[in-house]
Chains A and B, each alone.
Chain A
Amino acid sequence: DAGITQSPRHKVTETGTPVTLRCHQTENHRYMYWYRQDPGHGLRLIHYSYGVKDTDKGEVSDGYSVSRSKTEDFLLTLESATSSQTSVYFCAISSAGGLYEQYFGPGTRLTVT
């Protein structure tokens, strides 16, 4: 199994509070991704990174920001959480973009009340 951990695994927070989710990898892969998974929507890409300090937006990036200061860590921040951001968040890594498969972390279940 690819060495990917996510923290926290579960979190309940209140509307309007900031929240940061962490993804940590031990594979030294260049690419890292944040997805959210919701019933009826499948997986949707939030942001991704193709190197340290290199990030780009995905299809549902509004309300989210990311940072990557080290190869092994990719942080997802909800600046002011809303109930619509209640979801399961997955981090993924890949050794390269294009034709290469991704490996997924175990997920973080976030509930915004």
Chain B
Amino acid sequence: GDSVTQMEGPVTLSEEAFLTINCTYTATGYPSLFWYVQYPGEGLQLLLKATKADDKGSNKGFEATYRKETTSFHLEKGSVQVSDSAVYFCALSSPNSGNTPLVFGKGTRLSVIA
């Protein structure tokens, strides 16, 4: 079945460092790909998405490119801030899944220190 694999955390970075969180997927057909962010004590928020190969999703300085050849959707940010500390989830939605909802990775916790 469809699956998402994320790099395990926690990831600890200093402020203004470069961030990469790896995400690879296994899916039939051409899935849509998403990154969600969860701040402490809150629900998940959609951060960005990409619906076809080579699409780049971006939001709040974060970017991710849908790479079909490597089945990847890595999240990047050029300069992280303390306020980016959160848990980040990669997810996919397959066009062949019918009513089946998103498939999530297990999440990667990011801590940014000043």
A interface list, Cβ under 8 A from B: 31, 33, 40-43, 45, 48, 50, 56, 90, 92, 94, 97-107
Contact = CB atoms under 8 A, between A and B. Distances in A.
Interface centre among B36, B42, B93, B99 (most CB of A within 10 A): B99
Q: Interface SS of chain B: helix, strand, loop or mixed?
A: loop
B61 interface: no
A3 to B, nearest CB: 13
Interface of B: 31-32, 34, 36, 42-46, 49, 51, 89, 93-95, 97-102, 104-107
B15 to A, nearest CB: 26
A40 B107 CA distance: 9
Contacts of B34: 101
Contacts of A56: 99
A102 B102 contact: yes
B93 A104 contact: no
Given A42-B105, A43-B89, A97 B43 contact: no
Contacts of A104: 36, 43-45
Contacts of A41: 106
